Amino acid sequence: MNLQRIEELIRELLIEIGEDPNREGLKKTPHRVAQLWSFLSSGYRTDPEAVLNQARFQSHGRDMVIVKNIEFYSLCEHHLLPIIGTCHVGYIPGEHVLGLSKIARLVEMYARRLQIQERLTRQIARAVERASGAAGVGVVIEARHLCMMMRGVQKQHSVTTTSTVLGLFRTDPKTREEFLRLIAPNRENA
């Protein structure tokens, strides 16, 4: 990633929208924005195997594992505006279980790319399936898209929900129902 080139492009953008990149409040903006883009796009330069970093452990059971309420931020690929959401990941281990923090790191890695929510959901599910050899995986994402809130239809309270279910989560209604019940907000999970 060429940060100097990004700084030049941001300077040009500021000029094109009618700003003076040399005024006090904007002098360091090109540098700050280049650093920001390096962070926001870091998922392109991260490998899922590196994220897992030897946090794959032999599985000794087939009980469902759920990590829910994983907060994330991404950017919509259509308008480059933020997507702010929560991800819930469940799986039934196959050969391996994954370190719990690594599931959150996989979410973060894929979110740090230009995204559409549907693809993000699938990418996370497939990565968990590959890494664990899971018998089943379920991923549900609930997110607010600033491209819908700040422009266009300007619907401030809209929430988009996407899900991907693989393996037993797709073929066994009881498994899917257990997952959905356990991630549901404001319910007794008995």
Residue positions annotated with a catalytic role: 76-79, 117, 145, 147
Nearest-10 Cα torsion for 43, 182, 93, 114: -10
Could you give the CA distance from residue 108 to residue 74 in angstroms, rounded to a whole number? Answer: 9
Quote the Cα angle for 71-77-79, to 5°.
100
**φ and ψ at residue 133, rounded to 5 degrees:** 65, 30
What distances in angstroms separate CA 126 from CA 122, 161, 163, 164, one per listed residue?
6, 18, 12, 9
